[in-house]
Chains A and B, each alone.
Chain A
Amino acid sequence: MRLKVRAYVGWLLVTVMALGVALPAAAQERGITPTEIILGTSAPLSGPAAPWGATARGAEAYIQYINEQGGIHGRTIRFVILDDAYQPPRAVQNVRALVEGTGVFALVGMIGSANAAATRDYIFRNEVVWMTPAVESDPWIGNPNIRYLFVTYPNYYQEAKVLTRYAVEELGLRRIAVIYQNDQYGDNGRRGVIDALAEMGMEPVAAVPYELTDADLSVQALLIGQAQADAVILYATPTHGAMAAAALAQLNPKPQILSSFTLADPIMAALAGEAWNGVIVPSYFPYPDHDEKVARVLEIILERNPDLAQMSFNALAGVTFLEPLLEGLRRAGPDVTKESFVAAMESIQDWDGELLRGISFGPGRRQGLNRIFLARMVNGKPEPLTDWIVYPVEF
């Protein structure tokens, strides 16, 4: 009898020890606790790109909803947002604080090419899961360090090519110009326009830059008029996009504006007024007016943060940064580790989320999205013009 008891105690001890070894191993995965998954982002909540800070607020509101539904496999999600005011030094500080201080499982988004460039080496070196930095695709193409990076953000360069071809082939316009922000974002747009035109044996009639600090774009518009452009492709911040559209509306004849999807937000019509009428803008997920699931998500985030109504496209874009990560966590099951999460993400094939559609990752594929569609803005409302337009997968 006594022996039996000893044997039991012995087994118990072994079990406890085994558990003791197993539990810390699970707890050691940064950002995953028995009750929580910790995510973080650095976003421009203030400064010149503040309207894009709505992406983080949109994601935050959606996470609140996911938590109200019980979280994922019993864990709730904690989302830490730090303000970088669109400044790279602050983004670097924020990312270090999130990884080393807060201890996040993943970083969600990151607005601004310069911010992403300043932080990416650190993120890659520390092998942090990084969902959709909202920047151009060049840094990822051919990069061997992107095992933990997953992107469902359109490629500016390919988007500019799509817009240019549409202007020439579908609208029959021959004199194409581009107004672009003088940085990596704008330069991707400029190169896309030049390359697409070159493939058709053409050249832009004008390529006019502006600076982020410019408070008036009437000179740029006059140059477009001087070049007699009949289409202008626009790569700008929301504020400068509206300034450019208002200044271009004074030209006679008025050129057709085609803008980057970064200006798809309804706030553009509020800012530029009638100058935004007729502008052609791409999107990479359906508009709430044309899709019930998207409308439902918008309703969910507006119920939790009514201030986002002004910037609904940006707020929804924030949810698109997050959505594939939530799916990956669901697929990875309750015993999620970073590696099982990567395997789960790689199993996502032609997947439809609430907002994103047709998303595919895989071993060696980190560009989850390679298509956009175009819409024409009429009185602030988008009217879809095309079906999905597919462009090549590059990373």
Chain B
Amino acid sequence: MFFWQLVLSGLSIGSLYAVVGLGIVLLYRTSRVLNFAHGDLAMVTTMIAYSLLTSAGVVFAGSVALTLLAAFALGSLFYFIVIRPVKEATLLGQIITTAGFALVLGGAAVVIWGAGTKALPFPLSRFRFYDVFGLRIDQLTIGSFIVSVITMLLLYLLVQKTKFGLAMRAVSQNDAAARVLGIPVRRVYAVTWGVSAVLGAIGGLLLAPVTFVSPTMMFDPFLKGFAAAVLGGLDSLPGVIIGGVILGVVENVFGGYVSTAFKSTVAFVMIIAVLLVRPEGLLGRKFQRRV
């Protein structure tokens, strides 16, 4: 039973790693930019939710809606104000720009909200449990698992079943050709940045009741989301979900049976092992550029 309880909590935290990782992968697939500000963007939007819920007194559903809107705006604004003007820079240059943006966001959060830890008022409780087949599941875990799955489904529909998704895939394969075909490439990039930030915000909101709200709250979840993406394949959306879940379960089972001190380390050792065998990740495709 101890084993299954470890698996269950691993699934729950792993699905959150996956949601965070999805934002990273979505952006990478489309623009080849690794966004190191993804975690800090999620943190800032969670702080916005905190302000809406406490100081502004907005109801939960309203706060969530406004927060996701703010996340979308912040993400696409960052594209227009920073990434777009440095488009001549190398890919590495653009990636370093996102790292700089992360520092700016982290500093701004300390100035605006203070460096202290806060509790986000959340409608689901960790202290209301259900005992199912001898396993104990709390309301928050069930809720966040359902929201994660719905998020993944919606993203799947957006990417695979809409015209916009088709445009995203076209841009990711060859942005010059896409432009020639009349696809508004800039708009596609901006929306992708926005959607990616929204995914981060959902991850941040679901993590907040567990990690609490502080400027450093996304440090570990971002690393794990990134790790999930690398494990599953940086350009594969199903890959990052599988990567996140494997990561969550393996580190929990290892922590439960071997050592909690090396719980995070084992996750990264596993990634190295996978990458040695499959450099493109579990579900990633080999990156080949046509000449």
Interface residues of A (CB under 8 A from B): 45-48, 50-51, 53-54, 182, 208-211, 213-216, 218-220, 222-223, 225-226, 238-239, 242-243, 246, 249-250, 252, 267, 270-271, 273-275, 307, 310-311
For A50, list chain B residues within 8 Å (CB): 110, 114-117, 214-215
For A209, list chain B residues within 8 Å (CB): 260-261
Q: B1-40, CB under 8 A of A: which get 1 and which 0?
A: 0100110010001000000000000000000000000000
Count chain A CB atoms within 10 A of each CB in B219, B221, B224, B261 and give the residue with the most.
B261
Count chain A CB atoms within 10 A of each CB in B115, B138, B214, B221 and give the residue with the most.
B115
A sample of 22 inter-chain contacts (CB < 8 A) reads A46-B110, A50-B110, A51-B117, A209-B260, A211-B264, A213-B264, A214-B220, A214-B263, A215-B207, A215-B217, A222-B6, A223-B255, A225-B2, A226-B2, A226-B256, A238-B117, A246-B210, A267-B117, A270-B118, A270-B119, A275-B126, A311-B116
For A239, list chain B residues within 8 Å (CB): 117, 211-212, 214
Q: A50-B115, A238-B117, A239-B214 are in contact. Are A213 and B256 (CB under 8 A)?
A: no
For B264, list chain A residues within 8 Å (CB): 211, 213-214
Is the pair A211, B261 in contact by a Cβ cutoff of 8 Å? yes
Interface residues of B (CB under 8 A from A): 2, 5-6, 9, 13, 110, 114-119, 126-127, 129, 136, 138, 207, 210-212, 214-217, 219-221, 224, 251-252, 255-256, 260-261, 263-264
- Docked pose: A218 CA to B248 CA in angstroms: 12
* Closest CB in chain A relative to B208 CB, distance in Å: 11
For A270, list chain B residues within 8 Å (CB): 118-119
Is the pair A215, B210 in contact by a Cβ cutoff of 8 Å? yes
Is the pair A222, B2 in contact by a Cβ cutoff of 8 Å? yes
- Docked pose: A275 CA to B119 CA in angstroms: 13
For B214, list chain A residues within 8 Å (CB): 48, 50, 239
* Closest CB in chain B relative to A212 CB, distance in Å: 10
For the complex of A and B, 5 pairs with smallest distance between CB atoms: A50-B115, A219-B255, A215-B220, A218-B9, A215-B211
Interface of A is mostly: helix
- Docked pose: A270 CA to B219 CA in angstroms: 22
- Docked pose: A307 CA to B114 CA in angstroms: 9
For A223, list chain B residues within 8 Å (CB): 255-256, 260
By beta carbon, the residue of chain A nearest B252 is A219
- Docked pose: A161 CA to B214 CA in angstroms: 32
9 more A-B contacts (CB under 8 A) besides A46-B115, A51-B116?
A: A50-B114, A213-B264, A219-B9, A222-B6, A242-B117, A250-B126, A250-B127, A250-B138, A267-B117
By beta carbon, the residue of chain A nearest B12 is A218
Is the pair A222, B115 in contact by a Cβ cutoff of 8 Å? no
Q: A249-B127, A307-B114 are in contact. Are A219 and B220 (CB under 8 A)?
A: no
For A311, list chain B residues within 8 Å (CB): 116
- Docked pose: A243 CA to B126 CA in angstroms: 11
For A225, list chain B residues within 8 Å (CB): 2
Is the pair B221, A222 in contact by a Cβ cutoff of 8 Å? no
For A252, list chain B residues within 8 Å (CB): 136
By beta carbon, the residue of chain B nearest A182 is B261
* Closest CB in chain B relative to A304 CB, distance in Å: 17
Is the pair A48, B212 in contact by a Cβ cutoff of 8 Å? no
For A307, list chain B residues within 8 Å (CB): 114
Q: A47-B216, A215-B221, A242-B212 are in contact. Are A271 and B126 (CB under 8 A)?
A: no
For B110, list chain A residues within 8 Å (CB): 46, 50
- Docked pose: A50 CA to B113 CA in angstroms: 12
By beta carbon, the residue of chain B nearest A210 is B260
* Closest CB in chain A relative to B158 CB, distance in Å: 28
Is the pair A216, B219 in contact by a Cβ cutoff of 8 Å? no
Q: A220-B260, A311-B116 are in contact. Are A250 and B212 (CB under 8 A)?
A: no
For B117, list chain A residues within 8 Å (CB): 50-51, 238-239, 242, 267, 271
* Closest CB in chain B relative to A254 CB, distance in Å: 10
Is the pair B216, A48 in contact by a Cβ cutoff of 8 Å? yes
Contact of B127 among A215, A222, A274, A310 (CB under 8 A): A274
For A45, list chain B residues within 8 Å (CB): 115
For A215, list chain B residues within 8 Å (CB): 207, 210-211, 217, 219-221, 224
* Closest CB in chain B relative to A266 CB, distance in Å: 12
For A48, list chain B residues within 8 Å (CB): 214, 216
* Closest CB in chain A relative to B215 CB, distance in Å: 7
Q: A46-B215, A243-B211 are in contact. Are A208 and B138 (CB under 8 A)?
A: no
Count chain B CB atoms within 10 A of each CB in A213, A218, A239, A275 and give the residue with the most.
A218
- Docked pose: A161 CA to B33 CA in angstroms: 53
For A274, list chain B residues within 8 Å (CB): 127
By beta carbon, the residue of chain A nearest B261 is A209
For B119, list chain A residues within 8 Å (CB): 270-271, 273
For B6, list chain A residues within 8 Å (CB): 219, 222
Is the pair A218, B13 in contact by a Cβ cutoff of 8 Å? yes
- Docked pose: A313 CA to B25 CA in angstroms: 43
For B224, list chain A residues within 8 Å (CB): 215
* Closest CB in chain A relative to B250 CB, distance in Å: 12
For A275, list chain B residues within 8 Å (CB): 126-127
Is the pair B212, A243 in contact by a Cβ cutoff of 8 Å? yes
By beta carbon, the residue of chain B nearest A48 is B216
Is the pair B255, A53 in contact by a Cβ cutoff of 8 Å? no
For A219, list chain B residues within 8 Å (CB): 6, 9, 251-252, 255-256, 260, 263
For B216, list chain A residues within 8 Å (CB): 47-48
- Docked pose: A147 CA to B158 CA in angstroms: 69
Count chain B CB atoms within 10 A of each CB in A46, A53, A271, A311 and give the residue with the most.
A46
Is the pair B116, A267 in contact by a Cβ cutoff of 8 Å? yes
* Closest CB in chain A relative to B246 CB, distance in Å: 16
- Docked pose: A330 CA to B129 CA in angstroms: 58
By beta carbon, the residue of chain A nearest B253 is A219
By beta carbon, the residue of chain B nearest A53 is B115
By beta carbon, the residue of chain A nearest B136 is A250
For A51, list chain B residues within 8 Å (CB): 115-117
